[in-house]
Structure 1
Amino acid sequence: MSRSGEFCPRCGDEIPEEADERPDLGGAGGGRNTERVLCDACYFEEFDLVDAPDVVQVRVCSRCGAVHKGNRWVDIGAEDYTDIAVEQVSEALGVHVDAQSVAWQVAPEQVDQNNIRMHAEFSGVIRGTPVTEQVVVPVRISRQTCKRCGKIAGGSFASIVQVRADERDPTDEERERAEEIAREYVAAREETGDRNAFVTEVKEVDDGLNMKISTNQMGLGIAKRITAQLGGSYSDSRRLITEDEDGQELYRMTYAVRLPRYRRGEVIDPDDGDGPVLVRSVQGNLKGVRLATGADYEASFEAGDAPDAERLGFREDAVPTTLVAVEDENAVQVLDPETFESVTVPRPDYLDTDADEVPVLKSQAGLHVLPDDGGDAGDDA
C-alpha cells in the first residue's frame, strides 16, 4: 500500500495515500478539516451518520385538533397525528455532511395516545465505505389550547350581528337560516386558512337573534349575506372599546339586520284597491301575484319591500276545496271549506279549470284561490 507521508493525529498511524487525496471538506478559511486527516479507524470510531434529537414534541390543540408548526397553529383536520409526528421527526433529523448516496426510512410505533416511537434507519456511503445507522426518536403529543380556541373560550368577539324584522318577529325558519348563513360564511373562511374566523355566541332573544362574531369584517360579511338571501336591509354602528399598543382606537361594530315586513308566501292586501297579493319575493321591491287575476305585482320604488297593506294569511294556511263550476272567464264557484256552501270567487289566470280541487285561503276579505305551486316561480333563492 502506498504511503502518503502523513500520520493520523489521533493514533499516529500513517494515512494511506488514497485517503490523503480525498477532497478537502474544511471550512471557508481553507483550513483542513480534522476529521478528514484522521485515519479511517479513528474517523469511524466516533462517527455518527445521523444527528437525532433526544425527543420531539408535537403541540396539538385539545379543542380543535390544530397543530403548532413554526410560529403558528395550522388546521389539519386529523385525529391521528402519526403523519405529523413523522414529518416533524424528519425535519429534526440531520445527516452527516460527508455522507453520500443517503437513503432512509422511518417506522412509527404508537405507544399510547400521547407517545410515539419513531424507528429510523439510515444508510449512506462515507469514504467509500457503506454505513448504516438506526435511531429511535421519542415523540410526545402535547395537548394545549391554541390561540383561536382560547379566544372562543374567553368569549372574545369584535362585532355583533342583530337579526330583527320590520313590524314583526322573525320566524323560527328565518332565525335558523340566519344562523346557518353565518356559520356557512365562517366555515368558508376557515377553509381558506383564516383562523380568525369564528362565531363566539348565538343567542335567541324575544324579538330576534344576536350573534357575536370574531371580527368586524366577518360581521359585515354575514349581515350582507343575510339580507341578500332573506331580504331587508342592515345598518351599522360602532363603539370604542380600547386602544391597541400603538395607540390605535379599536371599535366594536354592531350590524343591525332588519328583515322585510312581509315574508315570501304571505298573502297581503295592498291599499291600491286591486285585491290581495301572494308575496313571491322580498328582494328589493316586493313582488308577487294578484290572486284575483294572476297578474304580476311589484311594489313601487318608494314602497320597496314594505308597501302599506293588510295581512290576510300565509300560503301554508291554504286548504284544498272543491271547484264547483266555472261561471265565465272572470269567475268560478268553489266550496267554502268551513260552511260547505258554493261561493263565487275571481278566476285568476293560473287556475286550472279541469281540476277537481283548488287551494284556497279564507280571510276576512273572503276566499282566495292560490296557485298550486304557491307562486314559487321567481321566488328568492
Structure 2
Amino acid sequence: MSESRQFCPRCGDPVERPPDADLPGGPSDPDAVLCDDCYFADFELVDAPDRIEVQVCSQCGAVHRGNRWVDVDADDYTDVAVDETADRLGVHVDARDVTWGVDPEQVDQNTIRMHATFTGFIRDTPLQETVVVPVYIARGTCDRCGRIAGDYWNALVQVRGTNRTPTDAEMDRAEEIARDYIAEREATGDRNAFITSAVRESSGLNMKISANQMGEAIAHRIVREFGGNVSAAETLTTEDGDGNELYRVTFVARLPEFTPGDVVDLDDGDGPVLVTSAHGNLKGVRVETGERYEASHEEGIAPEGRKLGTREDAEDTTVVAVEDARAVQVLDPETFETKTVPRPDYMDPDADEVPVLRSRAGLHVLPEDAEDV
C-alpha cells in the first residue's frame, strides 16, 4: 500500500498528497506539494494592476475600450470605473466560492480610488484580501466627435417648400424626425450615425448627415409625414484608396405648396377648398358647399391654385339669419355690414357665431374645428 504522505520540499514538514496526484491529468502545479504555511507565504488571491486609465470622450462621454469607442450613457464614471476594475482584476485559479465588493472613493474629478475586497476558499481555508486600485479618467475626443468638429458629412438634406418657405413648425418637426432617426441608429450601436449640423436659412432647413443612406432615409421620412417628394443630386468629392469614386448626395425634401388649414382657390369654378391633407394628392372640403374634394389624376398631386388664407386667419362673427339650406347672413367682421354668403353643409344652423375668412373672393364660413369636416 503506497504511502499517502510526502514532505514539503521547502520546510520538510509532512503534507498530505492530493488524492488525484497519481492519476492522469492530476494537478501539475508545483506548489500543490507545498505545506499550507509555505503555500500561503507567497500566495496572492488577487492580481491587480498598479493603476487603470480610462479614456473618455469629453464631448459625448463615450469610453474607449479595446480598439473602439463605446457609448455608455453615464451621468458619472463611477460605474465605468467599477466595470474597468472588474475586467482588469484577476483571481487565483485555485480559489473557490469567490465573492467581491467594491467601495469607490472619488478623489477628484478625474480620479476614482477603488477599494475592492475579495473573499474565497483555498485548500478549504477561508481567505480575504483587499486591494486598492486608482482609476484615472483621461479626457479625449472620440472618432465621431472628431468628425463632427471637422465638419464631416456625406449627405445634405434640404427641406424646402413648393413656392413657399417651410414654416418654423415644419422645420422644427423635420429636424426632430432627423434626430429621432439618428437616435434609432445609435441605439443599435452605430457610432457612424450623426448629424454634423442643422442650419436654417431663408429658403429652408439644411442638415448635414454622416452617410448617404441615412440622409435618404431622413428625407423620405419627412415627406412621408408632410407630403411632397424627394429628389437627389450627386457630387463627386474624391476617390478612396482603391480608386473607387466617392460621392456626396444632396437630398431635397420638397414639401407641398398647400398644407392642412390653407384655404385655396383652385380657379375651377366650384369655390375655394379648405385643405385637409397634402399626402399623396391634395384633399379638402369646399367652403361654399361642404362637399369633399380630392385632386384627380388629371389635375396631378398638387393642382395650381391661389392661397386665400388659413384657418388661423378666420375670425368669429355673428350669425344674423339662416336664409335657406345654401345661404346664411353674417356680419362682416371688418365693416360690420350684413352679408349673405354660401352656407356649407358643415355649418350648424343653430350656431350664434361662426368663424369666417375674409379674402379677395369674399367671406367664407369655415368649420369650427378639423373634426367638423
Is this a same-fold pair by TM over 0.5? yes
Measure, in 1, the Cα distance between the counterparts of 2:88 and 2:79.
Answer: 14
Alignment check: 8 A CA contact 1:336 1:343 kept: yes
Letter in 2 for 1:275: G
Note closer, same or farther for the CA distance 1:228–1:238 as it changes in structure 2 (3 Å cut).
same
How do residues 12-27 of structure 1 correspond to structure 2 at under 5 angstroms? 13-16=12-15, 18=16, 20-21=17-18, 23-24=20-21
Measure, in 2, the Cα distance between the counterparts of 1:26 and 1:245.
Answer: 60
Query: Residue deviations 1:127-172, cap 9 Å, x none?
Result: 3332222211111111121111111111111100011111122222
Which residue of structure 1 lines up, in the alignment, with residue 166 of structure 2?
170
Which residue of structure 1 lines up, in the alignment, with residue 302 of structure 2?
306
For residue 25 of structure 1, report the CA deviation from its aligned partner: 11
Match of 1:242 among 231, 234, 238: 238
Query: Residue deviations 1:8-64, cap 9 Å, x none?
Result: 4334x1432x1x235449997x89432122333322221111111111122221111
Which residue of structure 1 lines up, in the alignment, with residue 318 of structure 2?
322
Note closer, same or farther for the CA distance 1:332–1:51 as it changes in structure 2 (3 Å cut).
same
For residue 360 of structure 1, report the CA deviation from its aligned partner: 0.7
How do residues 348-363 of structure 1 correspond to structure 2 at under 5 angstroms? 348-363=344-359
Query: Residue deviations 1:346-381, cap 9 Å, x none?
Result: 1110111111111111111111111111x4568xxx
- Residue segments in structure 1 that go unaligned for 5+ positions in a row: none
- Between stretches 303-312 and 200-209, larger displacement belongs to 303-312
Note closer, same or farther for the CA distance 1:290–1:46 as it changes in structure 2 (3 Å cut).
same
1:10 aligns with 2:29: no
Which residue of structure 2 lines up, in the alignment, with residue 181 of structure 1?
177
Secondary structure, aligned partner of 1:188 = helix
Measure, in 2, the Cα distance between the counterparts of 1:92 and 1:23.
Answer: 33
- Residue segments in structure 2 that go unaligned for 5+ positions in a row: none
Which residue of structure 1 lines up, in the alignment, with residue 130 of structure 2?
134
Measure, in 1, the Cα distance between the counterparts of 2:274 and 2:27.
Answer: 92
Alignment check: 8 A CA contact 1:232 1:282 kept: yes
Alignment check: 8 A CA contact 2:20 2:27 kept: no
- Between stretches 57-66 and 288-297, larger displacement belongs to 57-66
1:148 aligns with 2:144: yes
Which residue of structure 1 lines up, in the alignment, with residue 272 of structure 2?
276
1:367 aligns with 2:363: yes
Aligned residues: 372
Alignment check: 8 A CA contact 1:26 1:32 kept: no
Which residue of structure 1 lines up, in the alignment, with residue 37 of structure 2?
41
Which residue of structure 2 lines up, in the alignment, with residue 90 of structure 1?
86
Secondary structure, aligned partner of 1:68 = strand
1:286 aligns with 2:285: no
For residue 4 of structure 1, report the CA deviation from its aligned partner: 6.3
Secondary structure, aligned partner of 1:271 = coil
Secondary structure, aligned partner of 2:158 = strand
Over the aligned positions, Cα root-mean-square deviation in angstroms equals 2.3
Measure, in 2, the Cα distance between the counterparts of 1:297 and 1:237.
Answer: 35
Measure, in 2, the Cα distance between the counterparts of 1:6 and 1:256.
Answer: 85
Letter in 1 for 2:18: E
